[in-house]
Amino acid sequence: MARTAKSSVTITGVKELQAFLKDQICEKDLREATGALRAGSKKIATDLLLPELVRAGNASSSPLAGRFGYTASAFADRIVIVKVGAKNPKLSNFRRGKDAKYRTGMAWGSEMGGSHYGTPRTASGYWVRPLVTGTPLFNKVQDAYREVIADILRRYGRYT
């Protein structure tokens, strides 16, 4: 975690972020600041990522992806977290093979493909990985997360 003269933050990891916040925020405000970080992370996931995941799932060539796009859920944590397959999608008419016995296997298959999932196997992903890597959405999420941290430092920082 590094802080430049313009008060921008470079995020390198959760442990570094925690240490940085402990250094920058008074002990009495740390719990409230961490709550604000968790709420901000969940808002980013809900507002930016979830609608795009549903859209990407529906547009994917993987027949399961459209169903699993609607299962994505945002979680409140120190970083932006979205889980796919957190709810049971309607999976009627899909063959469940040995490696597709459970919902997690089906979610994996909707992204990576395979004979049981109606698409060829791929290492590059069908809908989640292409959405979050190398697209403007990734930069939007990063910028929003940096803004959440900057806002927390403005409100709770001991050096501002």
| Domain extent at residue 104 | 43-151
Number of neighbouring beta carbons within 10 Å of residue 155: 13
Cβ atoms 73, 87 nearer than 8 A? yes
For residues 60-74, give the mean pLDDT: 82
In one-letter notation, the amino acid at residue 143 is D
pLDDT tens string 34-55: 999 999 999 999 999 999 989 8
Q: Judge whether residue 57 has pLDDT over 70.
A: yes
Residue 50 lies in a domain: yes
pLDDT tens string 4-19: 333 444 556 778 888 8
Cβ atoms 103, 88 nearer than 8 A? yes
pLDDT band at 23 (very low <50, low <70, confident <90, very high): confident
Residue 157 lies in a domain: no
Question: What domain count does the chain have?
Answer: 1
Question: In the block, which residue shows the tokens 């309607």?
Answer: 90
Residue 160 lies in a domain: no
Please name every residue paired with 75 in a beta bridge, in sequence order, or none if there are none. 81
Residue 5 lies in a domain: no
Query: What are the angstrom distances between the C-alpha of 100 and each of 57, 90, 96, 104?
Result: 18, 14, 5, 8
DSSP 155: H
**What is the pLDDT, as a whole number, of residue 138?**
87
Residue 22 lies in a domain: no
